[in-house]
Chain A
Amino acid sequence: MAFLEISNIKKSFGKTEVLKGIDFTMEKGEVLVIIGSSGSGKTTLLRCINFLETPDSGSITVNGENLFKAGEPYSDREKREKRLHFGMVFQQFNLFPQYTVLKNITLAPELREFKDKKLSRAEKKALSLQIEKNARLLLETVGLSEKAASYPCELSGGQQQRVAIARALALRPDILCFDEPTSALDPELTGEVLRVIRGLKSSDRTMIVVTHEMNFARGVADKVIYMADGVIEEFGTPDEVFGKPKSDKTKAFLSSAKD
C-alpha cells in the first residue's frame, strides 16, 4: 500500500468541472512534481488535499489511514486533525504580518500544544522553549537564523517564502505541498527558494510541488504529473515525462514551456 493514495478526486465549482477524477499514489520520501498550464486544476487539487476545498467524490488515504471519503460528514475538529498530515506553502506566502518571523513559526504549534491541556506554568515554559528551539532549527534549515526577530514586511519575497516553508514544517506534516512557491517572486529570488526545496528533498521529505520551473522540476522530481483540463494527462518519472512524453498534449505543453 502506497504512502499517499488519491483516488477518483472530482471537484466542480457550479457547472464547471475542474477536477475530473484524479488518481495517483506516492511513496514516503518521494517528491511529486505537478506541472500543467494555468487553469488546469493544480491549485484546486492541492486545496482538496489540504481540506481547503471539499471534493465531490473520491478518497484520500495517508499511511493506511483514510483521511477523506466523499459524502462523509466531517466536523471542523476532525478536519483540523486530518489536515495536519499535510503542510501547505502558498504562492503568496501568507505570513502573519503582525508577528515576528519566529512567532510566525511558533504560533500554531503553541496553540496546538497548549489547547485543552492543563499545564503548569513550568510545563508551559518548558514546552514553549522546546517549540522555540525547534523553530530556530527550522530557520537554520531555510538559512534565515539571523531574521528571527524581523517582521515579514522587512523581508524580501524569497525570504518570506522560506519562512513560510519553516512555518509549515514546524507542525511536522507527513507531506508538504507547495503551490507555485516561486511564481510571486522576482526572477532573481526564485533560486534561494528552490535551493531550500532541494535541500528538503535530500533530507527525504515527502513533497508535492506544483511549479512552472521546468529545469527545477526535472531535477527534483521522483515522479511527475502533467495535468490538463482537470485530468492527469501524463504520469511518470522525469525522464519519461520530459524525455519521452507519450501524449501530444504533453509534448505541446513542454515545447511551449521551453521558450
Chain B
Amino acid sequence: MSFTDIMKSLSDGFSVTLMIFGITLAASLPLGLVFTFGSMSKILPLRWLTKFVVWVVRGTPLMLQIILIFYGPGLLNWDLKFSRLNAVLIAFIINYSCYFSEIYRAGLESIPKGQYEAGQVLGMTKPQIFFRVVLMQVVKRIVPPMGNEIITLVKDTSLARVIAVTELVKAAEDIISHYANIKVYIYIAVFYLAFTALVTWLLHLAEKKLSYYSV
C-alpha cells in the first residue's frame, strides 16, 4: 500500500473523527446548559432526575454507554435501532452534556451573590442579570476546564471503534491488520497531535480575548 493510499484511508477515518468531534461539541455545549438548569431547578423531581442521569453517565465508561445505546434496544426487543454512527453520536452528546453541565454549574455557583444583588438593586430583570452581568463572568471562569474536556473529546472519539465505526484509529487498525505497517500508528499520532495543537491554540486565543478583566 502506497503512502498516498494510506493517507487517503487515514483521511477518511479522520473526517469521521472530526465529524464526531464537531457534532458532539455543537450539540453538547447548549444541551449541557439545559442539564445545568435541570440540576439547579426548583422543581425537585426534575432536579433529582437530572442529577441521577448525570451521576450515572459520569460514573460509567463512555465505551460502555456506546455499546449499550447500540445493542441495548435490540437486546430488550425494543422497536428502535440506531445506525452505528448515530449510536456513537447519541452516546457522546449525552456524555459530554453531562460533563459540560457540571462545569457550567460550578461556574454559575462561583459567581458571588453580590453580582446578582447589584443587578437587582439597579432594577434589572432576571434575564438581564443573567445575560448582561453573570454570563460573561461564567464564560471566563469556565474556559480552562472546558478546554480540558474538549481536548479529551478529541481523543475520546477513538472509542467509536468499539462498535466498528471507522474513525481514525479503526482506519489505522484496518490498514495494519492487512499490511502490518506499524508506522501507521505514528502517522495517526501526528494527526491527533496536530488536531489537539489547533484546539489548544484556539482555546488560548479565547482565554487571551477574555483576559482584559479579572473576576
Do A and B come from the same complex? yes
Contact in complex: B118, A83 (CB < 8 Å)? no
Contact in complex: B132, A111 (CB < 8 Å)? yes
What separation, in Å, do the CA atoms of A167 and B122 have in the docked complex?
A: 9
Interface hits, A88-112 → B, CB 8 Å = 88, 90, 92, 94-98, 107-108, 111-112
| B134 nearest in chain A by CB position | A96
What separation, in Å, do the CA atoms of A170 and B115 have in the docked complex?
A: 18
Chain B residues near A97 (CB-CB < 8 A): 137, 213-215
| B214 nearest in chain A by CB position | A153
Chain A residues near B133 (CB-CB < 8 A): 96
- Comparing B8-16, B65-73, B81-89, B123-131, the segment that makes contact with chain A is B123-131
> Cβ of B140 < 8 Å from any Cβ of A?
yes
What separation, in Å, do the CA atoms of A167 and B115 have in the docked complex?
A: 14
Task: Report how many residues on chain A are interfacial, defined by Cβ distance under 8 Å.
Answer: 29
Contact in complex: A171, B126 (CB < 8 Å)? no
Contact in complex: A94, B117 (CB < 8 Å)? yes
Contact in complex: B140, A98 (CB < 8 Å)? yes
> Cβ of B136 < 8 Å from any Cβ of A?
yes
Known contacts A50-B121, A87-B121, A98-B140: A152-B213 contact under CB 8 Å? yes
State the Cβ distance, B28 to closest chain A Cβ, in Å: 25
Contact in complex: A52, B122 (CB < 8 Å)? no
Chain B residues near A107 (CB-CB < 8 A): 122, 132
A sample of 15 cross-chain residue pairs with beta-carbon separation below 8 angstroms, ordered by A number, consists of A50-B121, A51-B120, A76-B125, A83-B123, A86-B121, A88-B121, A94-B114, A97-B213, A98-B137, A107-B132, A108-B119, A108-B124, A151-B213, A152-B213, A153-B213
